[in-house]
Amino acid sequence: MKTPRITYMGKEVRDLQGRYTSFKAKVRHFFSRLWFFTKVGVVVALIAVIAYSYGVADKGNTVYAQNIIVATTTQQEAPVLQRIADCESGSGKPGSGTHYKNGQVVLKANTNGTIDIGKYQVNLTYWGKKASELGYDLTKEDDNYKMAKWIYENKGTSDWSASQHCWYR
C-alpha cells in the first residue's frame, strides 16, 4: 500500500519519503504551524487587554488621581508618524494606516511575547504603564495617536525601527 502524500491547502507539501517537495512547500508548512501559535498569542493578548482595561490586572483596583497640566498647540501630525502608521497598521501605501480592522482594534503579537496595539502599534509592555500615567487608553484611536506622538517627541523613531525599511523613504 502506498503512503499518501501530505498536502496543505490542496498543495503537496511532502513526498512519499516524507521530504519536502520544495523550499516553498517547507516555508508554507512552517507558517501553517506558526499561524496556530499566532492565533493563540492573539487570544491571550486580547484577554490581557480586556483584563487590563477593566482594571482586573490592577492591584486592589485602587484609583490614583494626579493633576497634570499639559500645554498643547494645534499642530498637524508629524509626517513621519503618518508614514509609520501606514507601515505599522496598513499596507505601506499613504493613508492605509488604520486603528480598526473588522471592527476590532488592531493588535499584533510579537515573537518576543509583547503586544503592539492600534494604528501606531504602540507596544503595551514598554509603553502601557506610561500611557496609563498620561491618562491614555491605547484602545482609543485619539489616545493611541497621543501616545505615539509622546514617544516620537521624547524618544524619536527608534521604537518603530523594525518597519523603518517601509516608512523611511
Question: Is the distance from CB of 133 to CB of 113 less than 8 angstroms?
Answer: no
pTM, entire model? 0.53
DSSP 20: B
What distance lies between CA 144 and its chain's CA centroid? 12
pLDDT digits (tens, 9 = 90+) for 2-43: 555 566 566 665 555 556 556 666 666 666 666 666 667 777
Write out the H or E segment, with its range, that includes residue 80.
helix 79-89
61-65, 123-127, 138-142: which has the minimum mean pLDDT? 61-65
Q: What is the pLDDT of residues 75-122, one digit of tens each?
A: 566 788 888 888 888 888 888 888 788 777 888 888 888 888 888 889
What CA–CA distances, in Å, run from 34 to 14, 31, 40, 41? 18, 5, 10, 11
The grid cell for 116 is 503592539
**SS3 of 103-166:** CEECEEECCCCCEEECCCCEEHHHHHHHHHHCCCCCCCHHHHHHHHHHHHHHHCCHHHHHHHHH
Domain 64-167 classified CATH 3.40.50?
no
